[in-house]
Amino acid sequence: MYRKWFSSQVKLVVLVMFFVLFVTSAEGGPTSTFDTDADGWGFGVDHSWRSSGGNPGGYIHYIDAYATAWVSAPSKFLGDWAAMSATSLTYEINIFSTGSVYKIGNYQVLIEGSGGTAHWVGPPPNPAAGWLSLNVPISESDWTVTSGAWDPLLADVTQLRIATAFYNNWMPQEINGIDNVSLNTNPIPAPGAILLGSIGIGFVGWLRRRKKL
Q: What is the CA radius of gyration of the chain?
A: 24
Looking at the fold, whether 4 and 101 belong to one and the same domain comes out as no
Task: Examine the domain organization and report whether 101 and 153 are in the same domain.
Answer: yes
Q: Which residue has the higher pLDDT, 137 or 7?
A: 137
Provide CB contacts within 8 A for 135, sequence distance 6+.
88, 89, 90
List of residues 6+ apart from 159 with CB closer than 8 A = 72, 73, 78, 110, 111, 112, 113
Residue 174 pLDDT exceeds 50: yes
79: which DSSP letter? Answer: B
Of the two residues 64 and 71, the one the predictor is more confident about is 71
195-213 in b/e form (b: 16+ CB < 10 A) is ebbeebeeebeebeeeeee
Residue 28 scores a pLDDT above 90:
no
Note the pLDDT tens digit of each residue in 77-134.
999 999 999 999 999 999 999 887 767 889 999 999 999 999 999 999 999 999 999 9
Q: Are both 60 and 128 inside the same structural domain?
A: yes
The answer to whether the predicted template modeling score (pTM) of the entire model surpasses 0.85 is: no
Name the CA dihedral angle for 98, 102, 106, 110, rounded to a multiple of 10 degrees.
Answer: -100
Pair 134, 193 in one domain = no
Averaged pLDDT for residues 31-37 = 98
> Could you tell me the residue range of the domain that residue 81 belongs to?
28-186
Is residue 76 within 8 A of residue 40, CB to CB? The reply is yes
How far apart CA 142 and CA 120 sit, in angstroms, is 7
Tell me, yes or no, whether 122 and 103 share the same domain. yes
pLDDT in tens, 123-166: 999 999 999 999 999 999 999 999 999 999 999 999 999 999 98
In 180-190, which positions are buried (b, 16+ CB within 10 angstroms) versus exposed (e)? bbbbbbeeebe
Of 56, 64, 86, 55, give the one whose Cα is nearest residue 73: 86
